[in-house]
Structure 1
């Protein structure tokens, strides 16, 4: 295609949009499977101990009930098969409040729910470890070697001799994912093969985990996941509900559907853990950083470890000769934490970027100037050159677009009626990687019309994967987008990376582009002709009168890519309005400026960033999962208690993308946006609140009681 007709880089509307708004897109429980029974999980009402006995007699006699499954009659599963969080009915031991302890299968959802309420459980209770403040004193070094202490220079001496320093503790609470589509599965067996219609951010990962746990071969398990109603990391790994649905279907010998309720989401599919982060910064009077220590204390499950990397931003954001990144973790009777959007970076950036703002204020320096002064030429931890880095450009372009010059350096200097107005800035980063993926491209000619089908086991979280792959294939094949069909979300297709960790767009688009180049090369070779101008695959299908042709490509990270440090970077600007009398905070304006390599589709990219900003504002002002330490249960059990931002909570939001060419990270120079969009957002809001009020809030969320 001529450059002027290129589709990549154009703000194309989602090709699957009509299917979604008309209800024709099949999510997990929408697939047309006949004779489906319904399952309902029932859960423990203690956090620690074991089950003495379960009385299921009344439930088994209830109308419509087909089976009641507990640890007494559940089949033996491989608990090391890759399913996260345990809770697979393999033992009477209870390790957290809300652990799955049984499953009722009935003709209807209502019958299953009713029968689950008839079950009586006799427990032998133990004292639960659920009080984080008390237990944090027992925290130990994580087993995971990736969370070992990382030291450079002598932080202790640098802090002791510092001219200016900040040493503060920043707290981020537990959060939950809450995608619009809760986790749900339909399981259908045919002989010893099972099809699982299920939301999966990593299709092949779900297939392998389910197969291993069910003691099957991967080819005996098919995952079908064409559409996901969000996931934010909770659908990256798979949880017990997936395999329990398969177990139930096998036991009743018919398809079974299991959909978690919103209440059950709180203790079924992980969470973002609570983090106690001590950040110590030191600088000379002219603003050069001399020391940075980022020490995180957090929690994990009683029998399994997960520690999100809160210190990752502190490793790479600023040039500092003396640094320490450390983690300490305490096991608790709480469900296993897991990846949550911007894992570690969104929480860690709140601590780091708040501390940077505090130190800039002490130095009487503009916080943008302070950050630019400490810009590293290379990755401070690895010493590798950047594949590209846009932090300074993001800050400078953002300052101009936002009107940063109107900011008053001293707090409480900008008042409008009953409101105090404040400006805040914060930066963020997220690593960029390409993961191994495969794709199949099929070309078909009927008369003078050539069409293409692109197939790979990719995932679309709702972020526009279908569309960007159609755009990529259209350009690479020389076809209009309406002649491209994209098939993804099925483990029967060539394996691909997951839609996690901002690797989806990079991995999928590169392998599709590689497959299109390969099929063009193969058609040229097949023709036996020499071409002075490289033809497109579509032109070759016509000129050589080929009716059908296909090829597969297998792609991985570019050779030499690991010699560079590759990241997306951003700068976030917030304007807040704080009511002087009620302490209510509103974000009136927010600007996110991002450098993320080639932007495949500005329209879907803008949506990605706006979504990340909305969650970051929720993280800053309202989102918090609260545990009652006496029992270990969540007192926030629904969206009435767990407050996510609504349209009325969000002011004007704008996203700007820096034009960036990165030739080192991957062939197309893509870096990913899904994660970095939330990183630094909560810190920008918190810094703006300080600028407005003069009160530094170091514990999220920033609720009115903390400001009055």
Structure 2
């Protein structure tokens, strides 16, 4: 095999389908005779439904049915939890009782022959409630220790060390709730054929959606099929199987017709997860020379009352810097809201804002350059786990990023840099994210026409999965990209983990590599066993694949192509492959991606506006399969980090828990005019331990360090420390 494609900036193989409109998303798979369902959402934040006047609505034009807890099928809701689901608690049993647990919970479903008729009928349905006051403010909620989780960790005695420290930073940091808001809304089309169910559904985890719906309806898993070839943005919101999927299937069985259900933008704020609001305290103790002697990091995140959502809020602090005395603590505030969910960089993005803001504060208090402070506290090993990193290029990232950003031009004093009347600030922060890996499988099929089909039950929400997996298969088979067709988006393909957590390439890519190698082995066996083959009787050890052709080692002849071999077998050659991390390797090494993010901002002192001028990121992510796609991932993450730092905030009405800005007019996020010059660079990093491809995840880490870099730049510009996100005009003008 000769490498040709891994490491090359290949454009998207699915690009033409997307720009021509040929790519079909969940809501595009319209079925003959389908009806339309619209959810009626609770208008109280806590209580129970006391009455639903459905008779007038059922007589409205085109209405097929109104489903409520009174006439809904009783579903078994068999136990089922995937790794993406909260380990403690039970998912919402939709339309199974009269309880209202949060504002926006589905309390009825209206089905009609057209979407217009369904929407009019849903708006006309009168629901009465016995309402109680919900608790939706985590600042007044009593915090609890999450069940069954190792949430408190320590080494040494952090409190004693900081009591004796020469310099101490002790501050609190708050981050607002965020909603994912991808371009494509959640959508499901459900169709039954007897006791078999097909779902065309937006999902980042098809295998789990299949298993979850099978458990809810008490079906064999093989009786459910989930199809999702394209996703119009996810960011984690489609990792879990939310109630609307169950409702679509329930409605289709109720009326015995296919049913299409698409959430409105407002409904997506209620029932499809969110980044939890968090409160953190970070205390750092250091010597005058800038060596950390003690670190304490305490964090609290919100969750619902019926499930305990946890994320890695404080785990980064355990390993990021060298310190003999570290204490971390994580708590939950239970609220009368829907359950939060993983959102790009879950936990790490929030936790590192607090830690990296505190490190920046320490650098100014000590009079040490922020990068130099981090260099002085660079660990040699993961001190929390007492084992080496499989690779760690953080300082190389800082060196590369500082050079490309022009950090040397920064003057250290806050408020010292100007551009006319504008205040200029430059900030830096560390990014990191675990190099996850999960068991995955793939299938390769060699066809007689020379084409190769590759299948895996993965998803593609935009990072370029179709393209990068095609590159991996073409690389290991030694074929042109045009001869490889990669297929994903079906739950009956070989099983893969969720399309989230930055492990798709590591997991699925490694499985595809294994399947390709097995396909080559099978093809070679056919060639040597075929009496009419020029390689008949050859020893397998004497053969080699090169440029997609099988020949004897050292033989300059053309050899046999895959097409030659399959044409003689007269049936396609099919091979399966799987990959999982060796547990012994996982026990031996600490595996993470690292990066350094630099931001330059400008502040108008008269009106308080903050403009991000530049962001430069440098990352150590092992082998880069496609630099073009990787840079696109990074710039997308940076934009998400801008939103976290300066714009995104979901505001709840304390009276009922309603999201008062559940629409795109008041839920602010970066748009084209906000996007500055963005650069992403990659250090050369070889990591033979993480997986057979040597790749680390990228999607999450690109967001993780951006918000603290911007916040640190705001302090450099103004001398005013912002410890609450998002940073607003009012913050600049009133502090």
TM over 0.5: yes
Provide the rounded CA distance (Å) in 2 between the counterparts of 1:509 and 1:125: 51
Deviation at 1:132, TM superposition (A): 2.2
Provide the rounded CA distance (Å) in 2 between the counterparts of 1:491 and 1:615: 29
Alignment match, 1:266: 269
Provide the rounded CA distance (Å) in 1 between the counterparts of 2:672 and 2:205: 31
Q: How far does the alpha carbon of each residue in 1:305-351 deviate from its partner, in whole angstroms, 9 at most, with x for none?
A: 11222112211210111111111212111111111100001111110
Long gaps (5+) in structure 1: none
Alignment match, 2:237: 234
**CA contact 2:30–2:189 (8 Å) conserved in 1:** no
Alignment match, 1:142: 146
Alignment match, 1:248: 251
Deviation at 1:695, TM superposition (A): 0.5
Provide the rounded CA distance (Å) in 1 between the counterparts of 2:93 and 2:365: 50
TM-score by length of 1: 0.97
**CA contact 1:36–1:257 (8 Å) conserved in 2:** yes
Alignment match, 1:74: 72
Alignment match, 2:487: 487
**CA contact 2:185–2:263 (8 Å) conserved in 1:** yes
Residue correspondences, number: 700
**CA contact 1:378–1:384 (8 Å) conserved in 2:** yes
Which of 215, 225, 228 aligns to 1:225? It is 228
**CA contact 1:234–1:338 (8 Å) conserved in 2:** yes
Deviation at 1:188, TM superposition (A): 0.7
Which of 611, 623, 643 aligns to 1:598? It is 623
Map 1:276-287 → 2, pairs under 5 A: 276-287=279-290
Which of 630, 637, 642 aligns to 1:617? It is 642
Map 1:524-535 → 2, pairs under 5 A: 524-528=524-528, 529-530=538-539, 532=542, 534-535=544-545
Deviation at 1:81, TM superposition (A): 3.9
Asked if 1:25 corresponds to 2:23, the answer is yes
**CA contact 2:357–2:711 (8 Å) conserved in 1:** yes
Q: How far does the alpha carbon of each residue in 1:543-598 deviate from its partner, in whole angstroms, 9 at most, with x for none?
A: 54444211111221135321211111110000000001111001100001111111
Alignment match, 1:652: 677
Alignment match, 2:199: 196
Provide the rounded CA distance (Å) in 2 between the counterparts of 1:12 and 1:110: 43
Long gaps (5+) in structure 2: 529-537, 551-559
**CA contact 2:46–2:656 (8 Å) conserved in 1:** no
Map 1:304-343 → 2, pairs under 5 A: 304-343=307-346
Q: What do you get for the CA RMSD once the two structures are aligned?
A: 1.3
Map 1:63-142 → 2, pairs under 5 A: 63-79=61-77, 80-82=79-81, 85-86=91-92, 88-135=94-141, 138-142=142-146
Alignment match, 1:292: 295
Q: How far does the alpha carbon of each residue in 1:237-263 deviate from its partner, in whole angstroms, 9 at most, with x for none?
A: 110111110000000110000000101
Provide the rounded CA distance (Å) in 1 between the counterparts of 2:501 and 2:209: 16
Alignment match, 1:510: 510
Provide the rounded CA distance (Å) in 2 between the counterparts of 1:485 and 1:478: 14
**Residues 263 and 538 from structure 1, CA distance in 2 versus in 1: closer, same or farther, beyond 3 angstroms?**
farther
Structure 1 stretch displaced more, 553-562 or 194-203: 553-562
TM-score by length of 2: 0.94
**CA contact 1:558–1:665 (8 Å) conserved in 2:** no
Provide the rounded CA distance (Å) in 2 between the counterparts of 1:142 and 1:158: 27
Provide the rounded CA distance (Å) in 1 between the counterparts of 2:236 and 2:206: 13
Provide the rounded CA distance (Å) in 2 between the counterparts of 1:559 and 1:632: 44
Provide the rounded CA distance (Å) in 1 between the counterparts of 2:277 and 2:563: 60
**CA contact 2:297–2:328 (8 Å) conserved in 1:** yes
Asked if 1:58 corresponds to 2:64, the answer is no
Map 1:371-386 → 2, pairs under 5 A: 371-386=374-389
Alignment match, 2:533: none
**CA contact 1:139–1:297 (8 Å) conserved in 2:** yes
Deviation at 1:522, TM superposition (A): 2.0
Q: How far does the alpha carbon of each residue in 1:631-652 deviate from its partner, in whole angstroms, 9 at most, with x for none?
A: 2111111011100101111210
Asked if 1:467 corresponds to 2:473, the answer is no
Partner-residue secondary structure (3-state), 2:457: coil
